[in-house]
């Protein structure tokens, strides 16, 4: 071999080796993210992951590393199909790397081994996780470990039509004072029913339209259980609580409402779009929903001048045993057990970056959700949004969450089935409560305290 | 050719309705001989056998297995692990397990000694970092894992990637809490290491309680037998199947006979129109019914026009909800019945109808005395087939009323589906749902046997009673 040939060979080998070295440094990841309950205004739940991937790639480039992340997004508008898809995909080893779901799924999914505890991958002492609200981090925890990062927060207010209240004799000042009266327990759910009935009697709303609760199952109905003094979980032992009296009073309230004719006995299972249309058209007198509904009413159902038309408050107390309350049902970013540990680490970095106040504020303001961390109050987009700030101040301090407990789903199913049975008149209130009790006793045994 | 044959085109009119006459000598001889096993025949049958095995027997076997377990979305399907969690320890304490033992199991400590440093070194943790740990943290006590991690972050050579730091910290953590032990033996060893004096019985009790997966049980069936909801579901399902079946058969028969008497072109148009519910994709069909019956839909608007209550007829009241459910399913079934009955009607010899017209029979008399008696088996077949089909169908109800208002139109098959696979809270009870599905399979099998006996299936597979 001549010297020249040898030089060329060495140069080629060097070039090949250096190319290999660069290729070895480049890291390619495909991260999948699935989100339930996601509509047109809440696309940032998954889009934030894409933004985070872009940032993470840039940070790697600054360090001189090549990192390529492909984010594959999939959203479901409802929950039933989404939860079915996640659980079955997990069983077949094809679950997404990142799951965006309600915090109540942490219990059963952690037990089933579907999830990795996020605390093993991220540092809650550093930015941006160190500015998250403590209670939301607590909601994302289960059985001594932090499993998720809060994705959003909300509350579920009670709404009142200012126009219809005025039509039955309320002055503007009296309407403005109602939220405080509700908070103090001076205006109860039964006072509300009387006003609803008055609206119907005065002909300002159609029969059966004066009170419009949520049309389908949801955490909202636990608020009424709390309004009558019910507690979902014993803070000492962590055991679930089935409060017969509170459940009886709650069922009776909806039965009474149906008997008064302010809500139909066959109301449950109605159509959401129709409900939104009626709210936006001012057809209802009183109703309850979520903070995020405001953006839906404005963007999809052409509601204007929200604050002039609608008053909002906590869910009123039902009787002297209960309290005015609201439930927050934060969604959380979870890391699945599917995939390699490196993929999980990248996914964890992505959800950490997605929790940056600026990025999360895009979601919060567009979808009508509340902040997940203190620093968002300093983000102009969030701070200048009247609904976000007012709802945060008026509602969030009183909000509690449904418990993270692997057995809570069974209790929830029983509660709602009993409510349906009583409300429709299929069973008496007493039988419905007995049926729910029998069901939770059969399902949970000693895992629930009956009182 | 006999007289009978001449009047019926070669088919004995009683052959369809009467038990078999004593077979001819030739037939008896054929029946006595052992059937010949043909390899070609077996080959032809094998795809069907495979399909039957995969799509019927395997699901039934799996359903049976699932139904005797407590599988849920929390236990998972593919097996569990052994986990000692704080909640479990609290639960065990409530059930009377010795608190000292539980305290030992709940111990969580950080030990920085030569042994743990060596373990970290063996696992590939960077040497500079380990040297700093040895220099600064050896023998130091930490209240929690978090405190130790914070101390690690203060070291100059600490690992920059959070995950790497936490993996390194794990080598110094002494705890069995929240560790997923894949096997009982591993969990048992960990318990013994933390509580060496534990009694074998207590250890087994803790191990049993710590298992996160499913276990065998007959509880699902006991619950089905005792919960009041079962009776309501049974009554709902019986009502739904009976009324929809009656609609299917009567309307199908009526349509077939009407089309039969209509001029051929007109009859064809009606047949095609009535086939629409069957050939329309089920989701589209359900959506059309929603538009039709929803608030502001055709029915509500029409009702308003004629002074009747205008509301959501699909979900606004229990009687209208049931009516819609029955109509939605009934129209599909009626078109099925119509096709079958139309075929059967065409096989009735026209000569019988001509003869009856000569005798002055009215249309009703033709239907009553000529058509219906010869339609007995098709009617029986449609009744049997449709009742089985309705018993297991839920998709139309799911897509329309979804069991509402307030669970009033919930049927067994839909509840089984919701229990096992689809509900709002994500509380998927695979075992309980499978038990419900198994009950449906058993009811279906029992009904099949009854129907086959009613149907006299044996006669159907006998030699044809056609005289040539």
Q: Same domain, yes or no, for B200 and B233?
A: no
Is the preceding peptide bond at A68 cis, omega within 30 degrees of 0? Answer: no
Identify the H or E element spanning A270: none
Place of tokens 């009703």: B364
Q: Same domain, yes or no, for A269 and A309?
A: yes
Q: pLDDT band at B315, cuts 50/70/90?
A: confident
Which residue pairs, CB below 8 angstroms and at least 24 apart, start in A50-58?
A51/A353, A51/A354, A51/A359, A52/A349, A52/A350, A52/A351, A52/A352, A52/A353, A52/A354, A52/A356, A52/A359, A53/A350, A55/A353, A56/A346, A56/A349, A56/A350, A56/A353
Mean pLDDT confidence for B152-179: 90
Mean pLDDT estimate for chain A: 91
Higher pLDDT, B423 or B248: B248
Q: Same domain, yes or no, for A129 and A187?
A: no
Q: Same domain, yes or no, for A357 and A417?
A: no
Residue where a domain stops, chosen among B177, B210, B243: B210
Place of tokens 């600054």: A62
Which of A155-159, A240-244, A373-377, A442-446 has the lowest average pLDDT? A442-446
CA dihedral A91, A93, A94, A99 (to 10 degrees): 70
Q: Same domain, yes or no, for A323 and A361?
A: no
Q: Same domain, yes or no, for A299 and A439?
A: yes
Q: Same domain, yes or no, for B206 and B255?
A: no
CB nearest to B405's CB, from A84, A269, A435: A269
Tokens of B54: 């995969």
Most confident of A10-19, B100-109, B215-224: B215-224
C-alpha dihedral sign at B222, B223, B228, B231: negative
| Residue A270 near chain B (CB below 8 Å) | yes
C-alpha dihedral sign at B314, B316, B320, B321: positive
How far apart, in whole angstroms, are the C-alpha atoms of residue B455 and residue A132?
Answer: 70
- pLDDT given for residue A11 in this prediction: 54
Measured CA distances, A322 to A239, A312, A316, A319, A393 (Å): 20, 19, 9, 6, 22
Q: Same domain, yes or no, for B356 and B244?
A: yes
Tokens of A280: 């936006």
CB nearest to A266's CB, from B223, B226, B406: B406
Note whether residue A17 is domain-resident: no
Q: pLDDT band at A6, cuts 50/70/90?
A: low
Which of A401-410, B25-34, B82-91, B106-115 has the lowest average pLDDT? B25-34
Q: Same domain, yes or no, for A362 and A230?
A: no
- pLDDT given for residue B412 in this prediction: 96
- pLDDT given for residue B30 in this prediction: 52
Note whether residue A9 is domain-resident: no
How far apart, in whole angstroms, are the C-alpha atoms of residue B441 and residue B454?
Answer: 20
Task: State yes or no: pLDDT of B27 exceeds 60.
Answer: no
C-alpha dihedral sign at A33, A328, A277, A368: negative
- pLDDT given for residue A20 in this prediction: 47
- pLDDT given for residue A216 in this prediction: 87
Percentage of chain A beyond pLDDT 90 is 76
Q: Give the A window 311-370 contacts with B, CB below 8 Å.
A: 341, 344-345, 348
When divided into structural domains, chain B yields a total of 2
Instruction: List phi, psi (to 5°) of A32.
Output: -100, 140
Q: Same domain, yes or no, for B132 and B264?
A: no
- pLDDT given for residue A25 in this prediction: 64
Task: State yes or no: pLDDT of B12 exceeds 70.
Answer: no
**Cα A418 to the chain's mean position, in Å?**
23
Tokens of A233: 């979980």
Residues B210/B191, Cβ–Cβ less than 8 Å? no
Least Cα separation, residue A283 to chain B (angstroms): 14
CB nearest to B406's CB, from A87, A412, A424: A424
Mean pLDDT confidence for B144-156: 91
Q: Same domain, yes or no, for A238 and A351?
A: no
- pLDDT given for residue B19 in this prediction: 46
- pLDDT given for residue B13 in this prediction: 43
Q: Same domain, yes or no, for B390 and B264?
A: yes
Question: What SS3 string covers A156-223?
Answer: CCEEEEHHHHHHCCCCHHHHHHHHHHHHCCCCCHHHHHHHHHHHHHCCCCCCCCCEECCCCCCCHHHH
How far apart, in whole angstroms, are the C-alpha atoms of residue A147 and residue B101?
Answer: 27
List chain A residues with CB under 8 Å of B151. none
List chain B residues with CB under 8 Å of A212. none
Higher pLDDT, B422 or B25: B422
* Residue among A335, A438, A373, A417 at smallest CA distance from A119: A335
Q: A326-327 and A399-400: which strand pairing?
A: parallel
Nearest residue in A to B150, CA atom: A125
Tokens of A331: 């969604």
Verify whether the Cβ–Cβ distance A238 to B315 is below 8 Å: no
- pLDDT given for residue A240 in this prediction: 94
Place of tokens 């309230």: A253
Verify whether the Cβ–Cβ distance A122 to B162 is below 8 Å: yes
Task: Identify the CATH number of the domain in which residue A353 sits.
Answer: 3.40.190.10
Residues of the domain holding A146: 27-154+329-400
CB nearest to B402's CB, from A81, A90, A269: A269
Task: State yes or no: pLDDT of B18 exceeds 50.
Answer: no
End-to-end CA distance of chain B: 8
Measured CA distances, B8 to B22, B249, B355 (Å): 21, 27, 12
Residues A421/A247, Cβ–Cβ less than 8 Å? no
Nearest residue in A to B86, CA atom: A143
Mean pLDDT confidence for B374-397: 90
Q: Same domain, yes or no, for A119 and A31?
A: yes
With 0-12 CB in 10 A as exposed, 13-18 as middle and 19+ as buried, what is B108?
A: middle
Q: pLDDT band at A12, cuts 50/70/90?
A: low
List chain A residues with CB under 8 Å of B94. 237, 446
With 0-12 CB in 10 A as exposed, 13-18 as middle and 19+ as buried, what is A281?
A: exposed
Verify whether the Cβ–Cβ distance B401 to A424 is below 8 Å: no
Mean pLDDT confidence for A34-54: 95
Residues B291/B324, Cβ–Cβ less than 8 Å? no
Q: pLDDT band at A2, cuts 50/70/90?
A: very low
- pLDDT given for residue B467 in this prediction: 58
Mean pLDDT confidence for A159-169: 97
How far apart, in whole angstroms, are the C-alpha atoms of residue B146 and residue B169?
Answer: 10
Identify the H or E element spanning A123: none
Mean pLDDT confidence for B114-134: 92
Q: Same domain, yes or no, for B242 and B197?
A: no
Measured CA distances, A59 to A54, B23, B261, B421 (Å): 9, 89, 80, 42
ipTM of the complex: 0.82
Task: State yes or no: pLDDT of A3 exceeds 50.
Answer: no
- pLDDT given for residue A289 in this prediction: 95
Verify whether the Cβ–Cβ distance B406 to A268 is below 8 Å: yes
Note whether residue A22 is domain-resident: no
- pLDDT given for residue A7 in this prediction: 53
- pLDDT given for residue B71 in this prediction: 94
Percentage of chain A beyond pLDDT 70 is 94
Tokens of A113: 């081994």
3-state percent breakdown (helix, strand, coil) of chain B, nearest 5: 65, 5, 30
Measured CA distances, B186 to A115, A252, A372, B189 (Å): 21, 52, 40, 5
Task: Identify the CATH number of the domain in which residue B432 sits.
Answer: 1.10.3720.10
Task: State yes or no: pLDDT of B24 exceeds 60.
Answer: no
Model confidence over B210-266: pLDDT tens digits? 999 999 999 999 989 988 789 989 999 999 999 999 999 999 999 999 988 888 888
Nearest residue in B to A349, CA atom: B162
List chain A residues with CB under 8 Å of B424. 79-80, 216-218, 416
- pLDDT given for residue B10 in this prediction: 39
Q: Same domain, yes or no, for B353 and B449?
A: yes
Residues of the domain holding B403: 229-460
**Cα A274 to the chain's mean position, in Å?**
22
- pLDDT given for residue B108 in this prediction: 87
What's the pTM value of the predicted model, to 2 decimals? Answer: 0.83
Place of tokens 């789903």: A409
Q: Same domain, yes or no, for A198 and A64?
A: no
Report DSSP letters for B416-435, one per residue: HHHHHT--TT----HHHHHH
Model confidence over B333-382: pLDDT tens digits? 998 899 899 989 988 888 898 899 898 888 899 999 999 988 888 898 89
- pLDDT given for residue B11 in this prediction: 40
Model confidence over B431-466: pLDDT tens digits? 999 999 999 999 999 998 888 887 776 666 666 666
Q: Same domain, yes or no, for B184 and B271?
A: no
- pLDDT given for residue B45 in this prediction: 87
How far apart, in whole angstroms, are the C-alpha atoms of residue B64 and residue B56?
Answer: 12
Q: Same domain, yes or no, for B186 and B238?
A: no
- pLDDT given for residue A147 in this prediction: 97
Residues A225/A245, Cβ–Cβ less than 8 Å? no
**b/e code B448-465 from CB counts within 10 Å (16+ = b):** eeebeeebeeeeeeeeeb
Instruction: List phi, psi (to 5°) of B135.
Output: -70, -45
Q: Same domain, yes or no, for B203 and B314?
A: no
Mutate to test the interface with B, among A29, A80, A86, A219 (most CBs of B within 10 A): A80
């Amino acid at each position: 071999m001549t010297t020249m040939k040898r030089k060329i060979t060495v140069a080629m080998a060097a070039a090949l080796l250096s190319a290999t070295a660069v290729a070895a440094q480049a890291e390619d990841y495909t991260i999948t993210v699935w989100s339930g309950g996601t509509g047109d205004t809440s696309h940032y739940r998954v889009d934030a992951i894409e933004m985070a991937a872009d940032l993470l790639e840039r940070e790697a480039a600054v360090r001189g590393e090549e990192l390529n992340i492909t984010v594959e997004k999939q959203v479901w508008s409802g929950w039933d199909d989404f939860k079915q898809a996640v659980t079955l995909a997990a069983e077949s080893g094809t679950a997404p790397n990142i799951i965006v779901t309600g915090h109540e799924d942490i219990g059963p999914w952690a037990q089933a081994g579907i999830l990795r505890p996020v605390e093993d991958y991220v540092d809650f002492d550093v930015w941006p996780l160190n500015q998250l609200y403590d209670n939301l981090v607590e909601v994302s925890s289960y059985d001594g470990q932090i499993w998720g990062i809060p994705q959003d927060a909300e509350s579920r207010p009670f709404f009142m039509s200012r126009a219809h209240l005025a039509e039955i004799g309320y002055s503007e000042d009296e309407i403005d004072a109602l939220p405080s009266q509700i908070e103090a327990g001076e205006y109860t759910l039964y006072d509300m029913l009387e006003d609803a009935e008055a609206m119907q009697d005065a002909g300002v709303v159609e029969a059966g339209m004066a009170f419009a609760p949520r049309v389908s199952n949801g955490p909202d109905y636990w608020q009424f259980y709390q309004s009558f003094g019910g507690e979902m979980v014993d803070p000492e032992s962590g055991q679930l609580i089935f409060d017969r009296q509170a459940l009886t009073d709650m069922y009776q309230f909806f039965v009474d409402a149906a008997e008064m004719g302010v809500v139909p006995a066959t109301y449950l299972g109605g159509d959401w779009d129709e409900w939104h249309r009626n709210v936006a058209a001012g057809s209802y007198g009183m109703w309850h929903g979520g903070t995020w509904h405001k953006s839906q009413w404005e963007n999809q159902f052409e509601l204007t001048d929200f604050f002039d038309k609608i008053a909002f408050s906590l869910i009123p107390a039902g009787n002297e045993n209960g309290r005015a309350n609201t439930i927050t049902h934060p969604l959380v970013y979870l890391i699945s057990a599917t995939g390699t540990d490196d993929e999980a680490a990248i996914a964890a970095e992505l959800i950490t970056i997605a929790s940056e106040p600026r990025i999360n504020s895009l979601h919060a303001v567009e979808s009508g959700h509340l902040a997940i961390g203190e620093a968002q109050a300093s983000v102009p987009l969030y701070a200048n949004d009247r609904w976000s700030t007012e709802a945060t101040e008026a509602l969030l301090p009183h909000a509690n969450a449904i418990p993270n407990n692997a057995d809570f789903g069974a209790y929830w199913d029983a509660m709602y089935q009993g409510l349906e049975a009583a409300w429709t008149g299929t069973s008496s209130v007493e039988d419905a409560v007995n049926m729910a009790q029998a069901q939770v006793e059969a399902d949970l045994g000693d895992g629930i305290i009956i009182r | 050719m006999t007289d009978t044959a001449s009047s019926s085109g070669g088919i004995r009119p009683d052959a369809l309705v009467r038990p078999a006459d004593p077979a001819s000598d030739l037939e008896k001889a054929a029946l006595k001989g052992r059937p010949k096993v043909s390899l070609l025949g077996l080959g032809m049958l094998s795809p069907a056998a495979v399909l039957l095995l995969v799509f019927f027997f395997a699901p039934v076997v799996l359903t049976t297995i699932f139904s005797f377990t407590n599988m849920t979305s929390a236990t998972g399907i593919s097996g569990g692990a052994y986990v000692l969690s704080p909640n479990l320890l609290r639960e065990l304490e409530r059930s009377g397990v010795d608190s000292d033992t539980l305290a030992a199991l709940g111990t969580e400590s950080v030990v920085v000694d030569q042994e743990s440093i060596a373990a970290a070194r063996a696992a590939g943790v960077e040497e500079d970092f380990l040297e700093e740990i040895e220099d600064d943290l050896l023998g130091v006590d930490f209240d929690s894992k978090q405190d130790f991690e914070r101390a690690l972050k203060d070291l100059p050579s600490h690992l920059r990637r959070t995950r790497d730091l936490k993996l390194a910290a794990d080598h110094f953590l002494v705890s069995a809490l929240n560790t997923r032990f894949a096997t009982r033996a591993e969990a048992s060893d960990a318990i013994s290491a933390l509580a060496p004096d534990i009694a074998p019985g207590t250890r087994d009790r803790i191990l049993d309680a710590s298992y996160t997966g499913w276990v065998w049980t007959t509880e699902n069936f006991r619950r089905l037998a005792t919960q009041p909801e079962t009776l309501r579901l049974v009554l709902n399902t019986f009502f739904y199947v009976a009324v929809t079946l009656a609609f299917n058969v009567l309307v199908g028969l009526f349509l077939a006979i009407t089309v039969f008497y209509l001029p051929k072109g007109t009859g064809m148009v009606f047949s095609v129109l009535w086939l629409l519910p069957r050939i329309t994709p089920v989701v589209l069909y359900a959506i059309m019914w929603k538009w039709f019956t929803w608030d502001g839909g055709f029915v509500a608007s029409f009702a308003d026009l004629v002074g009747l209550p205008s509301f959501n007829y699909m979900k606004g009241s229990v009687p209208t909800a049931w009516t819609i459910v029955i109509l939605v399913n009934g129209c599909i079934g009626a078109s099925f019945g119509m096709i079958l009955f139309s075929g059967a009607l065409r096989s009735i010899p026209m000569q019988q109808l001509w003869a009856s017209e000569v005798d002055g029979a009215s249309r009703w008399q033709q239907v009553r005395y000529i058509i219906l008696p010869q339609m007995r088996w098709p009617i029986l077949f449609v009744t049997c087939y449709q009742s089985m089909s309705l018993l297991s169908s839920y998709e139309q109800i799911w897509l329309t009323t979804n069991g509402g208002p307030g669970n009033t139109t919930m049927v067994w098959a839909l509840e089984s589906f919701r229990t096992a696979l689809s509900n709002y809270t994500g509380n998927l009870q695979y075992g309980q749902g499978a038990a419900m599905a198994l009950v449906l399979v058993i009811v279906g099998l029992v009904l099949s046997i009854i129907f086959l006996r009613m149907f006299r299936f044996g006669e159907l597979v006998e030699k044809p009673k056609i005289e040539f």
